[in-house]
Amino acid sequence: MSKISPPELEARLEGEDPPYVLDIRPRAGYQREHVPGSHNVPVYGDLRSGDDADLRAAIEDVPNGKEVVTVCKAGIVARKATAVLEEEGYEATTLAGGMRRWRGYQNGSLGYRIRSALTGLLP
């Protein structure tokens, strides 16, 4: 299962063929902040508890033939969404670190810079 970093996602979103960003967090969190141009399907709680039925029902609204990037709070539950999408034949990727890492990247936070540096040093 593949992951995409916040800088990679930002570059892809600015490109000619941007991915479809699927934010699975609860609606309130999405309304507070989200990746620009993303689409909210609030199935976080369901996926966290192992129920993927609502996500599978919502997949029909996700365009075929387009890469899908899943987003959650920290990237963990989004991996479950990515797995479901892959099972359904989509090219899917998870935003590494979720909205926490996206926010850190956007704000240029010290924590983000340290984690990024450490990640680059580790195999």
- Kindly provide the b/e burial profile for residues 92-114, where b requires at least 16 CB atoms within 10 angstroms of the residue's own CB: bbbbbbbbbbbebbeeeeeebee
Q: Report the side by side order of strands in the sheet with 68-71.
A: 2-4, 92-95, 68-71, 20-23, 39-40
pLDDT value for 104: 87
pLDDT value for 64: 86
Element (H, E) at 66: none
Collect the ranges in the chain with pLDDT lower than 50.
Answer: 121-123
Return phi, psi of residue 21, to 5°: -100, 120
What is the value of pTM for the model shown? 0.88
pLDDT in tens, 72-104: 999 999 999 999 999 999 999 999 999 999 998
Q: Which fold has domain 2-117?
A: Oxidized Rhodanese; domain 1 (3.40.250)
pLDDT value for 120: 60
Whether 43 and 49 have beta carbons less than 8 Å apart is answered as: no
